Amino acid sequence: MEPIDIGLAVSAGMLVLVILGMRVAFAAGLAGMIGLIWIFWAKKGYAPDDFGWALTVAVKTAGQVPHSKVSSQALSLIPTFILIGYLAYYAGLTKALFEAAKRWIAWVPGGLAVSTVFATAGFAAVSGASVATSAVFARIAIPEMLAIGYDKRFAAGVVAAAGTLASLIPPSAILVIYAIIVEQDVGKLLLAGFLPGLFSAVVYALLIVGMAMTIKGFGPPVTGFTWRERFESLPPALPIVFVVLTIILFVYNPFGGDAWGTPTEGGAIGAFVVFLIALYRGMRWSQLKDALLETAKLSVMIFTIIWGVLVYVRFLGFANLPSAFSDWITSLTASPMMILVCILLAYAVLGMFMDAIGMLLLTLPVVYPAVMALNGGEAVSAADSAFGMSGPMCAIWFGILVVKMAEFCLITPPIGLNCFVVAGVCDDISVQDVFKGVTPFFIADAITIALLVTFPMIVLWLPSQV
C-alpha cells in the first residue's frame, strides 16, 4: 500500500475508535503508533525480519514528539489561564460579577438570563476554560433564575451556552492550542477573539430578549434596584477588569514600541494578580489547594490529548495526507467560500461525536493547509487572495471560525461537554433537559458564524491594529 492509503485506513480506524467511545488522546496515540509501524514496515516490503526494525523506529519517532512539542513556552499559557479562572472563583469575583450584571441589566425582558450571559462573558475574560466557566455559573445563576420562575431547561441552557464564550474571549486555552498547531502568533489570535466573543454574547442576549418579548411569562424582568445599589455593586467586580487590563497592557504596549512581555509572561502576571486579590479577600488554604488541584486536573487532561494527537500528526506527515488533501481541495471547481462553508459544516457534524480540543487537534493538521492553499498560500497578499486577506490574516480569521465551531460543539448532543457539566452540578436537572434548553442557542451560533464569515473585519480589526 502507498503511504497515502495507509494514512486513510489508519485515520478511518481512529475515527471508529473515537465513535465507539475511546478517549481521543488514546485513540490518536494508538492510531499514530500503528500508522508509523505500518509505514516503516511497508518501506521494507513487509519482510518478517524487518518488523522489529519498523517497531523500533516508530517508537523512537513517536517518543520524540511529547517533549519536543509540549516543552514549547507558549503551552505554559494553558495552566496559567486555567488557574486565573479558578482563583477568581475562589476569590468570590464570579459572584460579584453576576451581582453587578443583575443590578444593571436584569430590568430588561429576560433580564436575569441576559445578566448571566454578560457576567459569564466577563468571567471568560479571566478564565481559559469553558467547562470551568459553565460549572461556576451553574452554581450561581441557575438557582436565581429558577427562584423567579424560569423554566429549568432554559435556565440550564443559558449557562451551558454562555459558558462557551470562554473559548473565544481571551485568555482562551483553545486559541493557544490552535496557534501552536498552525504556528501562528499567539498574541494576535488572543486579541482577535475579543470582538467575536463579545459579538456572540450580544447575539445571545438579543435572542433571550426576543424570546422574552414574544413568549408570555418567559423570563420576567427583575426590578427594584436603586441607582445607589447599582453603583455599590461595581467596586467588588472591578478586580476582573483590572486583571484583564493588566494582561492586555503587558502584552500590547499602549505607548508604542515593543511589548513589555510575551503572552506567557502576561498570563503568569495575571495569575499572580488574581492570587493577591484572592488572598486579600480571605481565601483559605483549602480553597487554594482546590484551585491548584482543579487546574492540574484540567491541564493534565488537555496535555494528554495534545501528546496523543501529536503522535498521530507525526504519522500524518509521513503518510503525506495533509498535502494530498490540500491538492484535492484546491482542485475542486466550487468557489473557495463554498468549500470553506462545507468545511465548517463538517466541523459541526464531527463535533457531535468528539470533544472540542480533540476535534481541532485531529483535523487542523489536514484542514488548515487546505484552507491556506484555497486562499493562495501562507505568503499571499490581500490583493491576490481568494478570501480578500493576506496569509497571516487568513490564518487568524480561520482560527476564530474553527474555535467558534468548537464552541458550538460544546453544547451539541450527544457529547456536548458543557451540558454534562451543568447537569452534573444541578442534581434536579438532567442532561436531556440541558440539551433541550440550549436548542435556541444553535440559531444564535449559526447567525454569529454566518456574520463572521461574511464580515471578516469583525475578527481582523483588532489584530490589524497591532
For residue 414, say if its preceding peptide bond is cis, omega within 30 degrees of 0.
yes
pLDDT for res 455:
93
Grid cell listed for 199: 459579538
Q: How far apart (Å, rounded) are the C-alpha atoms in residues 386 and 222?
A: 49
| Separation of first and last alpha carbons in the chain | 49
The confidence score (pLDDT) of residue 69 equals 64
Closest by CA position to 356, among listed 174, 170, 121: 174
Element (H, E) at 49: none
The whole-number pLDDT of residue 46 equals: 83
Which residues contact residue 214 at a Cβ distance below 8 angstroms, ignoring those fewer than 6 apart?
none
- CA-based nearest residue to 75, from 176, 182, 188: 176
The pLDDT of residue 50: 83
CB-based contacts of 240: which residues, under 8 Å, 6+ apart?
A: 88, 93, 97, 122, 123, 125, 126
Q: pLDDT at position 70, please?
A: 66
Residue 196, preceding bond cis, omega within 30 degrees? no
Q: What is the pLDDT of residue 203?
A: 94
> Could you tell me which residues come within 8 angstroms of residue 158 by beta carbon, excluding any fewer than 6 positions away?
113, 116, 117, 141, 145, 208, 437
- Average pLDDT per 10 consecutive residues for the chain, totaling 466 residues: 86 84 83 90 84 86 73 74 82 84 89 91 79 84 88 91 87 82 82 90 93 82 86 85 76 62 76 86 86 84 80 84 80 87 87 76 86 85 84 92 87 80 84 90 91 92 81
Nearest C-alpha neighbor of 403 from the set 243, 125, 114, 200: 200
- Positive or negative, the Cα torsion across 419, 420, 424, 427? positive
pLDDT at 448: 92
CA angle 237, 238, 239 (to 5 degrees): 95
Q: How far is CA 325 from CA 36, 223, 322, 357, in A?
A: 19, 57, 5, 21
